[in-house]
Structure 1
């Protein structure tokens, strides 16, 4: 765990922010680091901690989730794609966290209790699902944010309880609203990326275009093939190749490009990636969520190669749709593909403009604002409502198309105006018997929850009442025609 004190004029008694990530690849931790960096600009944060939940889990658990995933990507990509698609519908996997995972998250729960956060941001779905369980059990009442790290929303990221959900683009927000999620709990902020603190030097316009090739991310043999094909290009260019911590790959590529003199520069792991992104003209690599969002924030178009099935393919589809990328489906034509971009008059400039339009460089700051200035009570999606959302997904309908006892209703905090619960119409009857008020709404009360009250309703009350004895709420149906509300 890393600890950073954030001092400001209002730091006394300020927010205590815990950022939970999971080191499955580098993207989730990069998003966590971007949020940590953005904390320095706020005077209301007294302290921030960042924790990679896999680092405090067992070696076996960490290996299976981390190394096991990339082994499947390398050897069984079709299985990765199948797993992504099968887990895509929200709430397909319902119920408590499995015993093995629960045993491995005990150190995370201990860390939460020690730090006593007032706010928690999750940049991976594993801690997001854990936090939902802790909110419903009353273990924590910290404001909790789910911060997605790919352009397409994936169902595993939707937990049963949270305060704020931040998605990468407006289409993801529309998708969740169509399934019944309230617009006051979902925001399209973009993916958090680190800010470049030092301005990159201005390049001479007479210099040839600069390619930035992410070789470490594309894998050994494939990366070598990509670099080899650029050596056949007709256009003038210079290239920087970043191999990360893969020393063997770096040496292979150094030997490969040695005859080209100083046209190629080969690097290992570096901290100056933001500066390289801003000096380059074209990025060549995989469309990971963080790589893509960092490129877009820098106004850097992409040549997409060898995407991981599932989220990276979908990221690439979005970038292609925006006009900020081209895709090469085989390494043998990549030199030709880059030549086509560089030799067509005005094409590279148009792609750069599209990347700038797509980029969200202030996403980290926007996430912090949405979390810390957002609702203080969580939104609880009951198990029955989760079933309705899953059924709507499978039937390809929006929530307002559903009728009868399984249709959805919202409970709205009468004072704050925020949605505190999403439940089935059928569940409303039990609450109305006990908590009906004269004005047609409900007054939820801690002292009026007898043992006979259904356990799901007891969990709901515990989570949304927090320290209060009573909470007036109004009931709002979803019968109005679906429409996209203003952000």
Structure 2
């Protein structure tokens, strides 16, 4: 008999949505704010809460993950690229959360228990990994989503238990399905961005093109080089330069462009960035996932400068593939590169049209709709299945081509039709020995696994059953010998 959960009682009075982020850069928190805004537009959400998990962790932990990352970006970019590549294969690290992270996660776990969410949305891999652990331990009974904030999928975002994973583009969805993830658990929605209440203004084509230069994001000396190069451009243009909280940089740039009259406008931190994106004709700056998504939604093509190795380089590759961006690899030619875009007849307009096609302004609303409408049971990926997915990724196999003991099979809830588990085939054979009925059906039940030898099985059953006494499932996937994964 089904036991009453926090979810069922809370849902009667409306959804309780918890959004977990991590302040490593601004993008993850910006995506969280976008989802929060989308929650306000729905009538079925009773309460929403946003929590930056780093803000409730220790000062040392926060400094190592937050500030430490940007120190590496500035001084050792090659190490950032190496770290991105080495952590990119999904499930490279399996098993429990390390003790240091677990200690720092204690305040987050307490906050989750106090809030009693019916849905949890993670915009960073740290809370996503934590939520997977809580689902498997039976601590959390809420629909859980992982939202990626870059155009390329990064393997750290894939956890061992979740309800939905949202990627930025269709190629990421195809990648995950090629690795063995079921299509009913992966959606390509775009990256969540905040939306503006008023329709965008019509760009005045009779005026010179307006450049929007994100100087605060590109860093001090490099930003000055970018602006200095625009002083040599032959094309007619105006430029708005946003320096953020970097007052010293703002003063340097103001002095640099003082002789150019009113062609340049230099701003510090501003809350009018959404309006500036709508007014501009060409953006000059770094291709962070959120910045790029905001530009695409505004139909604003980009000139990419000084991208962070790893995710920003890959973001840039995608935007250039779509025809919505150009990249300049040398500061000395940035002015020439922008000139090339502005002087070639029709090129800027073609890039603007490509940006509009690429933009996904409704991503946040789509994430909410898909998660809240998702099946109540999570997808659980066994540790053995995680090994198969990792090996398939590293050896460039399409997981669905594999058969044999280490191939992937899916357990599908007969009632809802949703995939509830990914297992290795030899695990399925083991389950069938204990849970097959006399007529050949497979009905999972609690309490039938050995307390010592079946720890993994018991943890998977706890997450799949969610308090039920029985769960009829069917298996899908390879059952005949063909080719096993190389050892």
TM-score band by shorter chain is over 0.9
Q: How many angstroms does 1:439 deviate by?
A: 4.4
Higher mean alpha-carbon deviation, 148-157 vs 424-433, is at: 424-433
The whole-number CA distance in structure 1 between the counterparts of 2:448 and 2:471 is: 12
Sort the Cα spacing of 1:479 and 1:278 in 2 relative to 1 into closer, same or farther, 3 A.
farther
> 1:399 — aligned with what?
399
- Aligned counterparts of 2:196 and 2:11: Cα–Cα separation in 1: 25
Q: Offset at 1:12?
A: 6.5
Decide which moves more: 183-192 or 445-454: 445-454
- Assess, with a 3 A threshold, how the Cα gap between structure 1 residues 289 and 230 changes in structure 2: closer, same or farther: same
Unaligned stretches of 5+ residues in structure 2: 1-9, 481-487
* 8 Å CA contact retained: 2:403, 2:478: no
1:254 aligns with 2:254: yes
1:348 is aligned to 2:348 = yes
Deviation at 1:41, TM superposition (A): 1.6
Question: Could you say which residue in structure 2 is the equivalent of 1:131?
Answer: 131
Would the alpha carbon gap of residues 208 and 478 (structure 1) be closer, same or farther in structure 2, given more than 3 Å must change? farther
Once the 2 structures are TM-superposed, how far is the Cα of residue 273 of structure 1 from its aligned partner? 1.1
The 8 Å contact of residues 408 and 424 in structure 1, kept in 2 or not, is answered as: yes
Runs of 4+ off more than 4 Å: none
Structure 1 residue 270, shift from structure 2 partner: 1.2
Partners of 1:127 and 1:187 lie apart in 2 by: 19
Residue of structure 1 equivalent to 2:155: 155
1:144 aligns with 2:144: yes
Question: Residues of 2 paired with 1:230 and 1:11: CA distance?
Answer: 56
* Closer, same or farther: CA 397–255 of 1 in aligned 2, 3 Å: same
Find the residue that maps to 1:446 and give its secondary structure: coil
Counterpart contact for 2:84–2:310, Cα < 8 Å: yes
Partner-residue secondary structure (3-state), 1:458: helix
Q: Residues 377 and 420 of structure 1 are in contact (CA less than 8 Å); yes or no, is this contact kept in structure 2? A: yes
Q: Displacement of 1:127 after TM fit?
A: 0.3
**Which residue matches 1:37?**
37
Q: How do residues 399-438 of structure 1 correspond to structure 2 at under 5 angstroms?
A: 399-438=399-438
Between the aligned partners of 1:479 and 1:12, the Cα distance in structure 2 is 43
Shift of 1:453: 5.3
Alpha-carbon displacement from aligned partner over 1:424-477 (angstroms, at most 9, x marks no partner): 011112211211024433111124334255111101000011121111000111
Is the Cα–Cα contact under 8 Å of residues 193 and 364 in structure 1 kept in the other structure? yes
> So what's the TM-score if we normalise by structure 1?
0.95
Tell me the distance in 2 between the aligned counterparts of 1:188 and 1:105: 29
Aligned partner of 2:76 in structure 1 is 76
| Corresponding position of 1:206 | 206
User: Does residue 387 of structure 1 match 2:387?
Assistant: yes
CA contact (8 A) 2:81 2:309 kept: yes
Q: In the alignment, does 2:103 pair up with 1:100?
A: no
Question: 3-state SS of the aligned residue for 1:387?
Answer: helix
Aligned position for 1:468: 468
Equivalent residues, number? 471
Give secondary structure in 2 for the equivalent of 1:353: helix
Matching residue of 1:59? 59
Deviation at 1:199? 3.2
Q: CA RMSD in A?
A: 1.4
Secondary structure at 2:376 match in 1: coil
Cα distance change of structure 1 residues 171 and 201 upon mapping to structure 2, 3 Å threshold: closer
Distance in 2 between the 1:200 and 1:248 partners?
A: 32
Q: CA deviation at 1:11?
A: 9.1
Distance 1:479 1:28 in 2: 41
Contact residue 406 and residue 424 of structure 2 kept, 8 A: yes
Change (3 A) 1:250 1:424: same
Alpha-carbon distance between aligned partners in 1 of 2:406 and 2:129, rounded to the nearest angstrom: 24
1:154-233 aligned at under 5 Å gives the runs 154-233=154-233
Match of 1:294 in 2: 294
In structure 2, the partner of 1:6 is none
Give the match for residue 6 of structure 2: none
Q: Contact 2:123/2:147 (CA < 8 Å) preserved in 1?
A: yes
> How far is the alpha carbon of 1:61 from its aligned partner?
0.6
Structure 1 residues 299, 186: CA separation in 2 closer, same or farther (over 3 Å shift)?
Answer: same
- In the aligned structure 2, how far is the partner of 1:204 from the partner of 1:92? 51
* Aligned CA distance change for structure 1 residues 408 and 169 (closer, same or farther; 3 Å): same
8 Å CA contact 2:11–2:118 kept in 1: the answer is: no
Equivalent residue for 1:275? 275
Q: Secondary structure in 2 aligned to 1:309?
A: coil
2:309 corresponds to 1:309 = yes
- Aligned match of 1:109: 109
Contact 1:285 1:304 in 2 (8 A): yes
Shift of residue 294, structure 1, vs aligned partner:
0.5
For residue 130 of structure 2, give the secondary structure of its aligned residue in structure 1.
helix
Alpha-carbon distance between aligned partners in 2 of 1:268 and 1:102, rounded to the nearest angstrom: 39
The runs of 5 or more residues in structure 1 that have no matched partner are 1-9, 481-487
Q: Within the alignment, does 1:455 sit opposite 2:455 as a pair?
A: yes
List aligned pairs for 1:18-29, cutoff 5 A.
18-29=18-29
**Structure 1's 271 and 479: CA in aligned 2 closer, same or farther, altered over 3 A?**
farther
What is the rounded CA distance, in whole Å, between the counterparts of 2:274 and 2:382 in structure 1?
A: 42
Q: 1:431 to 1:479 in 2, by over 3 A?
A: closer
